[in-house]
């Protein structure tokens, strides 16, 4: 048995937020004792022990008692408070735990026990998206107290490897990256609960999703070919082999270069949906060869890669064609004086020729007349 006797007044005072012990608010000590036992016993050496502290009720009014370690770890002690006349007694029952050196702190004030939060979680959805990403979102039923309540968030994989954190109750969504946080085909389960120092709301929200970052199965395009549909369009066709149960559709990707590594597949792609053919508009430019492949995608938008599988040469004809060769009967292509020109108007292109001849004749005549020279007298005229 250990017996402490406190006189009037405290050796020191401290203020401490006791929410960690389930009490609301900050409390002030009424006495602080330095505790330095002469001997230290192991729990296995103790059969029964009891610690009693007596104090003067006229000067002290403790309501709780804590042991504080040298590195400031606070532990509430299991104790009973009683008063007889002017003397008060605190009976501490440490069980088989032996208190190490530290401080005994008597706290004052009426202890307000923190109640578990009444607010709960609702509407939790966990969704797998493209690239192995997983997103979770939720809302709260009731009003949370930021800085006092917190969100207990736990995420576990299929092997029950879990990561638990305490988050701010302002959080209403969480994401896992397919690049760094998830493994394809692994199921991830979210477990959420609103808590505070008084405990957790009994409502537990849980939801899970399987990470999906690739098209499952071995579906692939085979026997692929491309042909000219018309002057402006190619038609690409293929057949499907393998397990296509995870395939939501196909895309034809193409470029003016060949690629032999799947990861080098071009990003220029044409949607084929569930069909095994696609029409592609021919590009303009110069004569060159174009290369094609077809790849599946799933309902998350994950798309496979593949090497180029077939090709076709686009020929651009830049030859200038005389329109009168292709349409000799047009009005502007009629020859003046022919039967086809009778009764027709003069073609527009002949007006330029006629005007040019008139101008030339006028200039020539003026030149001839000018050769007579200046002054009087007879002149010989050349015509």
How many alpha carbons fall within 13 Å on the CB side of residue 345? Answer: 7
The hierarchical CATH code for the domain 120-210 is: 2.60.40.10
Q: Give the sheet arrangement for strand 310-314, strand by strand.
A: 269-273, 249-255, 288-297, 310-314
Six token digits for residue 280: 């592609």
* Residue 123 and residue 138 in contact, taking contact as beta carbons nearer than 8 Å: yes
Six token digits for residue 107: 């706290």
12-39: pLDDT as tens digits: 678 887 777 777 777 788 888 888 877 7
**Confidence check: pLDDT of 296 > 60:** yes
349-377: pLDDT as tens digits: 555 555 655 555 555 555 455 555 555 54
What's the chain's average pLDDT? 83
Rounded-to-integer distance, Cα 168 and Cα 195, Å:
11
Q: Report the chain's C-alpha Rg in angstroms.
A: 48
Residues 279-305: what's their mean pLDDT? 95
Rounded-to-integer distance, Cα 117 and Cα 186, Å:
33
Rounded-to-integer distance, Cα 335 and Cα 252, Å:
53
256-267: pLDDT as tens digits: 999 999 999 999
**Between 280 and 63, the higher pLDDT residue:** 280
Strand-strand pairing, 277-281 and 269-273: unpaired
**Confidence check: pLDDT of 312 > 60:** yes
pTM over 0.75: no
Query: Which pLDDT belongs to residue 247?
Result: 97
Confidence of residue 229 (pLDDT cuts 50, 70, 90): very high
Six token digits for residue 75: 């532990």
Residues 149-158: what's their mean pLDDT? 95
Query: Which pLDDT belongs to residue 197?
Result: 79
Query: Which pLDDT belongs to residue 342?
Result: 47
* Residue 273 and residue 297 in contact, taking contact as beta carbons nearer than 8 Å: no
Highest averaged pLDDT of the listed ranges 55-59, 98-102, 144-148, 244-248: 244-248
Query: Which pLDDT belongs to residue 116?
Result: 85
CB atoms within 10 A of CB 182: 23
**Confidence check: pLDDT of 323 > 50:** yes
Closest CA to 291 of 345, 337, 255: 255
Rounded-to-integer distance, Cα 374 and Cα 221, Å:
95
Query: Which pLDDT belongs to residue 158?
Result: 94
* Residue 81 and residue 62 in contact, taking contact as beta carbons nearer than 8 Å: yes
The hierarchical CATH code for the domain 220-314 is: 2.60.40.10
Q: Give the sheet arrangement for strand 2-5, strand by strand.
A: 2-5, 51-56, 87-92, 79-84
* Residue 194 and residue 120 in contact, taking contact as beta carbons nearer than 8 Å: yes
231-290: pLDDT as tens digits: 999 999 999 999 999 999 999 999 999 999 999 999 999 999 999 999 999 998 889 999
CA dist 183 → 81, 158, 215, 244 (Å)? 57, 10, 14, 22
Helix (H) or strand (E) holding 325: helix 323-326
**Confidence check: pLDDT of 99 > 90:** no
72-79's contacts with Cβ under 8 Å and 24+ in sequence apart are 74/16, 74/20, 74/21, 74/105, 76/21
Range(s) within the chain of domains with CATH label 2.60.40.10: 120-210, 220-314
């Amino acid at each position: 048995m250990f017996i402490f006797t406190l006189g009037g007044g405290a050796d020191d005072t401290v203020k401490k937020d006791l929410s960690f012990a389930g009490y609301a608010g900050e409390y002030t000590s009424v006495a602080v004792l330095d505790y330095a036992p002469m001997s230290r016993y192991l729990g296995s050496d103790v059969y029964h022990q009891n610690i009693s502290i007596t104090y003067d009720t006229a000067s002290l009014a403790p309501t709780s008692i804590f042991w504080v370690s040298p590195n400031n770890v606070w532990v509430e002690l299991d104790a009973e408070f009683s008063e007889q006349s002017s003397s008060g007694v605190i009976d501490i029952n440490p069980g088989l735990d032996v208190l190490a050196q530290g401080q005994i702190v008597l706290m004052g004030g009426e202890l307000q026990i923190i109640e578990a939060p009444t607010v709960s979680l609702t509407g939790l959805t966990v969704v797998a998206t493209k690239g192995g990403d997983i997103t979770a979102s939720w809302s709260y039923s009731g009003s949370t107290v930021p800085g006092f309540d917190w969100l207990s968030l736990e995420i576990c994989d299929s092997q029950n490897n879990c990561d638990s954190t305490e988050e701010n109750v302002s959080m209403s969504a969480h994401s896992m990256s397919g690049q760094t946080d998830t493994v394809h085909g692994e199921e991830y389960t979210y477990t959420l609960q609103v808590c505070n120092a008084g405990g957790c709301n009994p409502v537990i929200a849980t939801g899970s999703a399987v990470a999906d970052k690739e098209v499952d199965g071995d579906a692939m395009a085979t026997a692929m070919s491309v042909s000219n549909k018309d002057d402006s369009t190619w038609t690409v066709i293929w057949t499907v082999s393998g397990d296509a149960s995870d395939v939501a559709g196909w895309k034809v990707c193409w470029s003016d270069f060949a690629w032999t590594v799947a990861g080098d597949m071009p990003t220029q792609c044409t949607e084929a949906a569930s069909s095994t053919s696609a029409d592609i508009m021919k590009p303009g430019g110069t004569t060159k060869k174009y290369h094609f492949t077809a790849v599946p995608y799933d309902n998350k938008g994950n798309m496979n890669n593949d090497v180029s599988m077939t090709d076709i040469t686009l020929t651009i004809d830049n030859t200038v064609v005389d329109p009168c060769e292709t349409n000799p009967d047009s009005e502007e292509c009629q020859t003046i004086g022919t039967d086809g020109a009778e009764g027709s108007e003069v073609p527009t292109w002949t007006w330029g020729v006629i005007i040019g001849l008139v101008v030339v004749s006028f200039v020539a005549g003026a030149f001839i007349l000018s050769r007579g020279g200046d002054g009087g007298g007879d002149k010989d005229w050349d015509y």
